[in-house]
Structure 1
Amino acid sequence: MKNSLAKADLHLHSKASNLPGGWFSKLIGCPESFTEPMEIYKRLKERGMTYITITDHNTIDGVLEIAHLPEVFISCEYTVEFPEEKAKVHVLAYGIDEKIHEDLKKLRENVYEFVSYLKAKNIAHSLAHPLYSVQNTKITKSLVEKFVLLFDNWEVINGTRGENIRELEEKLARLYEGWDKVHQLEEKYKIKSLRTRPYISFTAGSDDHGGMDVGRTWTEAQALSKEEFLQALREGRTSVNTEKIGYERLLNMVARVGYDFLLNKGKIPSALKPFTDFIFMHSNNPMTELFLRTFLGTSAERHALLKEALDRVPKLALERLLKEPSTSTLGESILALALHSAPVFLAYGQKVEEKKAEEIAKSFGIIPKRKERLAYITDTHFEINGVARSSRIIRELAQKYDLPLDVIAVWDGNVKESNLVLLKPAFEFSTPFYEEFKLRVPTLITLLDLLRNYSRVHIATPGPLGIMAFGVAKALGLPTTFTFHTDMPAYAYTYTGSPELMDISYKLTALLCNACERVFTPSEAYKKLLKEKGVREEKIKVFKRGVDTSLFNPSKKEEGFFQRKFGVQVKGNVVLYVGRVSKEKNLDAFLYCAKSFPEDTFIIVGDGPYREEIEKKKPRNVYLLGYVTGEELARVYASADVFLFPSETETYGQVILEAMASGLPVVVSGKGASHEHVEEGVNGFIAHSYEDFAEKLGRLLESPRLREFMSAEALRYAQSMDLTETYLDYINKLLGRTGVRV
């Protein structure tokens, strides 16, 4: 038996939609479409459409060019007005003829007369994109309720609109199922309903203007002929279906119309034309396709080639600029970056529409449901530093407690772990003044495609990935939070000596913070600093991080550990520093103390750009062990006697907690936030100068009893800061939850 499921794309445009579609196209005189009706016909047939139509704006000139073909029925998209509200809507009419078209054009100024005519002539029709504003019409609750009174069919999937609007429009339609509800609206507005059935059925169409995505969104019905298909539309026996929708459709459409505009004016370079013609589906040369796919390194479907090209163009242009620097290649790079960012602006436009639709839906009590998932963005994950360590802890807890979050970083390896998404770098460069730390940059389009799958975004680092993710999250309308983990402006001053650069950096940080929903900082000291720098106080939240006391504890102490493991001949007491070996850590104070106590052993664990300088300046009793992690680091802590941490730019000082958990009294700087862990003279000392560091360290080195007392107090404090509990509280705040749920 012949399959009777018929398909048709019920919303699409040809060159007959020849008026400008917006202010810019009007400015340059570019019409909405250049697509030939026969191109549309062939592509629809290739994509499996059973029946063919074209719905140009207020004209049937396009569809008439193919109306002689057996699968084609004549249709049109009319702009029709609600006279009492000065509101306009688009109505799709199907299976009409030239006489009916002329009649309908005369009725467009009154939607009630227009729809009455459609009903009287038994013409299949549908309300196009109900929650989309036509010609700046304000969509109100009253207008939507009048839609309910007039239209039996609503187009709920439109290929160029936001991917979440379908849910809202379907729920709105179903909210008014039943004649009782229709009659209530008749009474409310004193308008007689023109509905013929108690429920609203749905249609779908691509709304394509460029010809590239026609037939990728469609309406289905059981029908063996055009007449049966149109009858199914009239009777509401339809279902809707689509391939994936998103900004890609809008990108193809806008780019194809723009390309055709330039093509008609002879502005496409002849060297590029064979390739751009293939991308925009003007040609089907298999050799061109082979070259393009090889050049772009992609096996993507043809309708996705434009996006693939835009994704790769910036890297190619910048590589060319570096190889052949000139005004011309600079211009090419700027153009490539501009084109590469176009999808973000298109996605932003779609999300603005979607937000407006959500506000309308909320006025009916319809709250859109989105799957909760947090994107935790970090420029550092595998490196050895506090921010990377935090991201690893968060990922481990997400795995353990099945929390809806992914840590997202950029990495060139093939690591595959749950709750971890690694983007391939398009560019990679060393951090200024810190060459061993690489900044890796993904493509903007890759990030856009990823983040639209999340409900919230958290920025853990203001590096390239963090800044890009912030911009994309804003374009997608995602709630965004930020953690001030690192005092980058202070670092900038330390390395450059420029107070102007530091001031600019703080101003930029304040802009970022104020643009976020919430800003987290790990200490009261930095909450105060951010407030002083212009961040609004109500946005700032302090979060505390605990320490893993099962890993870091005094039981890990081993006699002779440093000699056995590192070849360090210990004499006297062991004074320990753990952290980056960099200028901002104020390690010269550590060296000053080492020179002050030549009979004791001073050990630095970590690495960084300042190591070479330390090697040159250090006295003989200072040893640099490089990076140490895990159990071995726990034994390092526990086998030392005092922890000396002179850094003045810490926003928290996780290593201080690790030292305390290992039973070490601590001596820390009074600047930054390190001192917030310390109760002066109880679990450690707070120093304010080199001499102060030496004096307070001396007290501990000279008094075993004082060390023992402070060790016990340090351990007690660390044990009160449970790592799992504090991090779970932090994660739930990032997720926007009010209580801890695991």
Structure 2
Amino acid sequence: MKIDLHVHSKHSIRPSQWILQKLGCPESFTEPAAIYRIAREKGMDLVTITDHNTISGSAEIAHLPGTFISEEVTTYFPEDGCKAHVLVYGINEVIHRELRAIRENIFDLVCYLRQEEIFHVLAHPLYSINDKLRIDHFEKFLLLFANIELNGARDDYQNYCIRKITDKLTPGIIENLANKHGIEPAFPEPWFKRLTGGSDDHSSLNISRQYTEVREAKTREEFFQGIDAGKASVIGKGSTPQVLSHNLYGIAYQYYKRKLNLESKVGKDPVLRFLDSCLQANSDTEDKLVPRLIHSWRDRKVQKQEKGGQIQDILRFEAHKLLKDNPKLRDFPQKGNSKIENRAGRWFDFVNHVSNRVLVHFWDTLVNNSSGADFFNIFHSLGSAGALYTVLAPYFVTFTVFSRDKQFSASSLKHFSIDNQSRSDKPFKLAHFTDTFYEINGVALTLRRQLKFAKESEKDLAVVTCDSENHPAMDGVRNFDPIGVYGLPEYPEQKMFIPPFLEMLNYCYDNEFTQIHVATPGPLGLAALAIARIMKLPIGGTYHTAIPQYAQILTGDGNIEELVWKYTIWFYQQLDWVLVPSKSTGDELIEKGLDPAKVRLFPRGVDTELFHPSKRNPSFLRNRFRTGDGFKLLYVGRISKEKDLQLLVRAFDIIRQKFPEAELVLVGNGPYLQELKALTFGMRCTFTDFLDGEDLASIYASSDLFVFPSATDTFGNVVLEAQASGLPIIVTDSGGPQENIIPNKTGLIVKAGNLESLTGAIEGLLADQLRLKEMGKAARLYVEKRSHELAFEKTWLIYRDCGNDVEQEMAAAI
């Protein structure tokens, strides 16, 4: 005999899910008769309905054969109000009234059910209904209940944990719990738990997804006797965030379909027709859907939605367009595609595509109006974004709930010392979000090295990025196609990519990351922050680019710099910790308002084998770049305004008057290249474009002095590379590079932006060749113990230790 022991009808009227409360709709909108029909069609021998604190649903089908009356009783722990649900079977109106009178106290309720010998089951014991569930409550559940449910609306891992814990219970464990809580179990063999299964369906989409089977039972009485005897089997599977979200959308659709009287319009509107097929169980028109849609689009022209329209108009337009342009999605709801995972997955694709297009509309409006300072439309766009949040809320809610429940389930498993490989004990999996992975800069190179070292040392590191180019696949890298790409007028080469948020959220959930790290405060960083909050994960960040200063240099507007500073501090203040490459960078963030307790200094390394004085090869420069034999000043890095290269050129112009054989070599590329070439016209100046590997190592070692005039860099990898190659260094007194030298021993520190200071330092070293060589030797010795491998291991420990601190705080709350 098969029975789905947990199903809801339209008589469950008080929703526990926030999104349903906001919509003002019931927790279910399914007719009891529909539940009966669907359950019998899916092979259930008997049918019951377990509405919250009412038997109205069961009573409505009580006249039909093979039914019995049940309900799901809401009860509370009197000491703290922690809510629990108890499924009660085979009752009548009199028992229901008595249950209502005593249900507020879980101890009174259980006592009554035992005295009256009413079969009952604790529903979803690891699901925190009102966010008050703690380990102590779960221990009390084990003392109060003989029968425990494996719930079809909850995650498979949660049900796995219930099985593991109940399977390993012993008389000794129960005795210890009874002594601890002062509760004496009122049933025999309390360590032996009977497990039942039910779908916990609220929308009719998942009825009998999970059910209980007692093979030898022929009657309802034999069925429950079989459960008591331990002969029951739970058949089916748990849910996923996509499946439960699909369920919530189904409830909302059925509610609005009835409230707005949409039934007569379904056959005329292609979007409503699609919604009906996806969100209504056993739609009787699925096989007619495609011909109707084709006919509808042939006879009806959808006008393009003007920008600035209402969110509902944009949603409708994008939905129409998507279904028209995507035959695979449009044809899906035909018969043969009724498996719930397929329907939930296809619905996810539909919502993802439509919401992405709406988000692009939002960004288009925001960017266009920002350039024109149209603040009315900017606020209108922000309002549209808020409305889109409501549309996507079912996914945000379910991913949050499932993530929270996984963490609590893992803590419960660990608490009972049952599974040494529980989630709490597994090595952490780090998702590193970056928007510069494919660029040519020190940050990107460092991350690529980290990925390489992680793979070699079997550490779980995944890079999550978003880029529009078709890059070759790489192990450990997940590149998402952006839904929108925006250029910056002041910096054409720098693109801003808008990530597909729902896809990223689903990816992080499926891969079970235990920690998130973000290296950008841009749109990708905002996505990472939201994912961490939804999944209840620790999140840290790296501050490696002086974005406010860059904004000021590129725009020449101090107000823009101040605005960017406010946003930057706000963003990093949301993180659990912030890694900085230099003390000066950390001090600057703290001065601007960042909590000092969040700041951590992390190490950086250099490839001391690749970059080595032995790579000196003057003929390489002569043959490839046609340089002379004079003294060579070297700069390596991005050719852009914020690097203050115009100051270096001015200093070189003065120096070459005194040292005519001196040469300036600039390695790199960037938006300032052509303008800089014009500035150096007629000078002994060589531009090599981007170099790496052995070519770059030869350039370093074959030069004589490394000059880095930037006042905005937070670290400067090239400063370490130059020292590893045996070059003395000149850096400014602003930013992080000054912390990577030993002043007056491996290099000199000059006043930022000061032509006289920079020129004097260069001339002084050119005039003292002995000091120059001694500094070069000292520079090599200084960096020899700063390998990339050692820096990565230290950084990984910082990731792990910071994450553990946050997880311990979360565990303490549990």
Q: Structure 2 length normalisation: TM-score?
A: 0.80
Aligned pairs for 1:436-585 (under 5 A) are 436-452=493-509, 453-566=512-625, 568-585=626-643
Shift in Å, 1:486: 0.9
Q: Contact 2:139 / 2:177 at 8 angstroms: preserved in 1?
A: no
Shift in Å, 1:516: 2.1
Residue in 2 that maps onto 1:601? 663
Mapped to 2, the partners of 1:680 and 1:51 lie a distance apart of 84
User: Secondary structure, in 3 states, of the residue corresponding to 2:714?
Assistant: coil
Q: Contact 2:248 / 2:394 at 8 angstroms: preserved in 1?
A: no
Matched, 1:311 2:352: yes
Q: Contact 2:482 / 2:499 at 8 angstroms: preserved in 1?
A: yes
CA distance 1:544–1:187, shift in 2 (3 Å): closer
User: Secondary structure, in 3 states, of the residue corresponding to 1:736?
Assistant: helix
Residue in 1 that maps onto 2:87? 92
Q: Contact 1:213 / 1:303 at 8 angstroms: preserved in 2?
A: no
User: Secondary structure, in 3 states, of the residue corresponding to 1:564?
Assistant: helix
Mapped to 1, the partners of 2:551 and 2:458 lie a distance apart of 39
Shift in Å, 1:592: 1.1
Residue in 1 that maps onto 2:255? 261
Mapped to 2, the partners of 1:677 and 1:491 lie a distance apart of 22
1:443-481 Cα deviation digits (max 9, x unpaired):
111111122220001112222212210121022111111
Residue in 2 that maps onto 1:654? 717
Residue in 2 that maps onto 1:369? 423
Identical-pair percentage: 32
1:621-642 Cα deviation digits (max 9, x unpaired):
2232222222222222222222
Counterpart AA for 2:483: A
Mapped to 1, the partners of 2:740 and 2:711 lie a distance apart of 14
Counterpart AA for 1:455: T
Shift in Å, 1:385: 0.8
Ranges in structure 2 where 5+ consecutive residues have no aligned partner: 294-322, 333-340, 370-376, 805-814
1:181 to 168, 174, 183: 174
Matched, 1:612 2:674: yes
CA distance 1:382–1:111, shift in 2 (3 Å): closer
CA distance 1:63–1:591, shift in 2 (3 Å): same
Mapped to 2, the partners of 1:322 and 1:543 lie a distance apart of 35
Q: Contact 1:656 / 1:666 at 8 angstroms: preserved in 2?
A: yes
Moved more, 624-633 or 344-353: 344-353
1:343-396 Cα deviation digits (max 9, x unpaired):
224433554566677788888789963442111111111210111111101101
CA distance 1:129–1:561, shift in 2 (3 Å): same
CA distance 1:653–1:19, shift in 2 (3 Å): closer
Mapped to 1, the partners of 2:172 and 2:744 lie a distance apart of 79
2:400 to 331, 348, 366: 348
Residue in 1 that maps onto 2:337? none
2:766 to 698, 701, 705: 701
Matched, 1:285 2:291: no
CA distance 1:729–1:24, shift in 2 (3 Å): closer
Q: Contact 1:57 / 1:79 at 8 angstroms: preserved in 2?
A: yes
Q: Contact 2:152 / 2:209 at 8 angstroms: preserved in 1?
A: no
Q: Contact 2:70 / 2:87 at 8 angstroms: preserved in 1?
A: yes
Counterpart AA for 1:207: D
Q: For this pair of structures, how many residues does the alignment match? A: 731
1:197-223 Cα deviation digits (max 9, x unpaired):
531232333322112233334445544
Shift in Å, 1:398: 1.0
CA distance 1:358–1:180, shift in 2 (3 Å): closer
User: Secondary structure, in 3 states, of the residue corresponding to 1:233?
Assistant: helix
Matched, 1:295 2:332: no
Aligned pairs for 1:635-674 (under 5 A) are 635-674=698-737
1:225-244 Cα deviation digits (max 9, x unpaired):
45454333222334446545
User: Secondary structure, in 3 states, of the residue corresponding to 1:597?
Assistant: helix
Mapped to 1, the partners of 2:35 and 2:132 lie a distance apart of 33
User: Secondary structure, in 3 states, of the residue corresponding to 1:315?
Assistant: helix
Residue in 2 that maps onto 1:276? 275
Shift in Å, 1:483: 0.9
Q: Contact 2:20 / 2:252 at 8 angstroms: preserved in 1?
A: no
Ranges in structure 1 where 5+ consecutive residues have no aligned partner: 1-5
Q: Contact 1:493 / 1:499 at 8 angstroms: preserved in 2?
A: yes
1:632-685 Cα deviation digits (max 9, x unpaired):
222222222221110111111101111111122221112111111222332222
Shift in Å, 1:165: 4.0
CA distance 1:667–1:209, shift in 2 (3 Å): same
Root-mean-square deviation (CA, aligned residues, Å) is 3.7
Matched, 1:246 2:240: yes
Counterpart AA for 2:554: Y
User: Secondary structure, in 3 states, of the residue corresponding to 2:618?
Assistant: coil
Aligned pairs for 1:49-448 (under 5 A) are 52-65=47-60, 74-80=69-75, 89-96=84-91, 108=103, 114-115=109-110, 118-119=113-114, 123-132=118-127, 138-139=132-133, 143-159=137-153, 161=154, 165-166=158-159, 169-170=162-163, 173=166, 176-178=169-171, 181-182=174-175, 185=178, 189=182, 191=184, 193-195=186-188, 197-223=190-216, 225=218, 227=220, 228-240=222-234, 242-243=236-237, 245-266=239-260, 271=269, 272-281=271-280, 283=283, 284-286=285-287, 288=289, 292=323, 295=326, 301-317=342-358, 335-336=387-388, 338-340=390-392, 342-351=394-403, 369-370=423-424, 371=426, 372-412=428-468, 413=470, 415-448=472-505
Mapped to 1, the partners of 2:607 and 2:673 lie a distance apart of 28
Moved more, 125-134 or 535-544: 125-134
CA distance 1:23–1:181, shift in 2 (3 Å): closer
Shift in Å, 1:82: 6.1
Shift in Å, 1:155: 1.9
1:384-443 Cα deviation digits (max 9, x unpaired):
011111110110101111111111112342532222222222222224532223332321
Q: Contact 2:249 / 2:394 at 8 angstroms: preserved in 1?
A: no
Residue in 1 that maps onto 2:9? 14
Counterpart AA for 2:207: V
Residue in 2 that maps onto 1:732? 797
Mapped to 1, the partners of 2:101 and 2:256 lie a distance apart of 35
Q: Contact 1:152 / 1:236 at 8 angstroms: preserved in 2?
A: no
CA distance 1:81–1:214, shift in 2 (3 Å): same
Counterpart AA for 2:647: A
Q: Contact 1:158 / 1:206 at 8 angstroms: preserved in 2?
A: yes
CA distance 1:179–1:441, shift in 2 (3 Å): same
Moved more, 25-34 or 305-314: 25-34
Shift in Å, 1:286: 3.7
User: Secondary structure, in 3 states, of the residue corresponding to 2:479?
Assistant: strand
Q: Contact 2:400 / 2:534 at 8 angstroms: preserved in 1?
A: yes
Mapped to 1, the partners of 2:731 and 2:79 lie a distance apart of 73
Q: Contact 1:51 / 1:226 at 8 angstroms: preserved in 2?
A: no
- By percentage of residues, which structure has more helix? 2
Q: Contact 1:479 / 1:517 at 8 angstroms: preserved in 2?
A: yes
Q: Contact 1:553 / 1:661 at 8 angstroms: preserved in 2?
A: yes
